[in-house]
Amino acid sequence: MIVGVGRAGKSSGRGPAAGDDAADVVALVDDLLARAVEAGASDVHFEPTARGLTVKFRLDGALSVFEELPRAVADGVVARLKVLGGLLTYRNDVPQEGRLDRPGGADVLEKRLAVFPTIHGERAVVRIFYAERELTDLDALGLPGHILAALKRIASAGEGVVLLTGPAGSGKSTTLAALLRHILARWPGRSIVTLEDPVERHVEGATQVQIPPRGEMTFPLALRSLLRQDPEVLMIGEIRDAETARIAVEAGLTGHLLLSTMHSGAPAGALLRLLEMGVEPYQVTSSIRAVVNQRLLRRLCRHCRRTGPGGRRRPVGCEACLGTGYRGRTLIAEMVELDGRLRKAVLAKADLETLTEMLARRGHMDLRAAGMALVADGTTAVEEVRRLCGPGPEGED
């Protein structure tokens, strides 16, 4: 007999679900996914352990344990997810990806499933996309005014490379899609092509191409071919390898505006990563127009936040925020445009510390500073800034 354990360690009250009864497993999975949508979770993790299956919800960017299911139903739950996702149920030794055939909920656009084998069984993650959460207007993203103005200016110029950096779930795809929509609204008819794996945001007026994870059409192959199709704006979902990086930089040097993302913790790190990929320093300095680094910070719940020492707000936890103390998220960002001194440093292959110090001397506001500004106005807490940006200077509270 199974009793689900909720986020706070209490029984979920859903009652028994016998592992040998397929109908019970179907109901269990349906209920978990429905409750994830009800809570507004962006991801649902099903993580196998020696004891069973841990179910976690990602709420406002942070993972929390929602249920602990016993070993008796672990395989059945993952098998049911694979059926919903159209995956091969008899293969449990290879990664698989798919889409759930029942989105569920009027505001849910789709649910994506990824399954991966582990020593305790298969690990599954369901990612949920909501229609109402997609911010389509560049002006509505919450970007600082100087970054918003710079992006619009670069879009107007129509050439060069703009990179967005940050970890998964930091809103990079949303920002890129909003920038593409701005370009289409400002210059109707401009030829825009995107290469993505997978296509995450639909952009009306753009030609969007999905690159399969395993297949003959790779990012470098598709990008080289598209450059012969007279595009004006190109968007690559992510620069992952040296060949894609080199072709992207070449596109920016030959009159195209190229937008892409890259996993890097800071703008200076993205520049150095291009060099490590074998892109020549002069190509980096000539093609890169700007690097935007962004994160999504959780907002303090307005129903339960309290004022702590120094007048700063602290998370408490209530029913409205499901005990987390936070509800909703806001964007923080930093942007680096290459000037003469920075170009000289890149050409000289300066290290990360040197580039970072150079930016600090010219008054660059980094992510931590942007986050602490939101702490000062009561939007978020110091703990949240530390969670995303790492420990700060001694005495920060």
Q: Domain residue spans in the chain? A: 22-130, 138-389
pLDDT, residue 14, reads: 44
Q: Compute the radius of gyration of the chain from its Cα atoms.
A: 23
pLDDT, residue 139, reads: 94
- Classify 69 as helix, strand or coil: strand
Q: How confident is the model at residue 126 (pLDDT cuts 50, 70, 90)?
A: very high
* Residue pointed to by tokens 């050439």: 159
Q: How confident is the model at residue 214 (pLDDT cuts 50, 70, 90)?
A: confident
Measure the CA–CA gap between 84 and 46, rounded to whole angstroms. Answer: 15
Strands 160-165 and 257-262: parallel
pLDDT at 159 over 90: yes
Interacting residues of 93 by C-beta distance below 8 A, sequence separation 6+: 117
Structure tokens at 222: 């598709």
10 Å CB burial of residue 148 (0-12, 13-18, 19+) is middle
Helix, strand, coil: what percent of the chain each, to 5? 35, 25, 40
pLDDT, residue 132, reads: 56
226 membership: H or E segment, kind and range: helix 219-226
pLDDT, residue 315, reads: 80
pLDDT, residue 5, reads: 37
pLDDT, residue 18, reads: 40
pLDDT, residue 391, reads: 83
Q: Give the count of alpha carbons within 13 A of 65, CB side only.
A: 14
- Classify 329 as helix, strand or coil: strand
Q: Give the count of alpha carbons within 13 A of 214, CB side only.
A: 3
Q: Among candidates 197, 201, 149, 156, which has minimal Cα distance to 175?
A: 201
Mean pLDDT of 277-305: 94
pLDDT, residue 325, reads: 87
pLDDT, residue 34, reads: 93
Measure the CA–CA gap between 385 and 397, rounded to whole angstroms. Answer: 10
CA distances from 216 to 123, 213, 224, 239, 389 (A): 28, 9, 14, 18, 39
As a residue count, the chain comes to 397
The overall average pLDDT reported for the chain is 88
pLDDT at 394 over 70: no
Cis amide linkage into residue 198, ω under 30° from 0: yes
pLDDT at 104 over 70: no
Q: 105 vs 284, which has greater pLDDT?
A: 284
In this structure, are residues 374 and 330 in contact, taking their beta carbons and an 8 Å threshold? yes
- Classify 215 as helix, strand or coil: coil
Q: Among candidates 255, 259, 250, 244, which has minimal Cα distance to 283?
A: 250
- The CATH number for 138-389, chosen from 3.40.50.300, 3.40.720.10, 1.25.10.10, 3.50.50.60, is 3.40.50.300
Q: How confident is the model at residue 246 (pLDDT cuts 50, 70, 90)?
A: very high
Residue 57: CB atoms within 10 A of its CB come to 23
- Classify 221 as helix, strand or coil: helix
Q: 100 vs 201, which has greater pLDDT?
A: 100
Strands 52-59 and 43-48: antiparallel
- The CATH number for 22-130, chosen from 3.20.20.70, 3.40.50.2300, 3.30.450.90, 3.40.50.2000, is 3.30.450.90
What predicted TM-score, i.e. pTM, was given to this entire model? 0.82
Dump pLDDT digits (tens) for 365-377.
999 999 999 999 9
Dump pLDDT digits (tens) for 267-282.
999 999 999 999 999 9
CA distances from 6 to 88, 151, 263 (A): 30, 44, 34
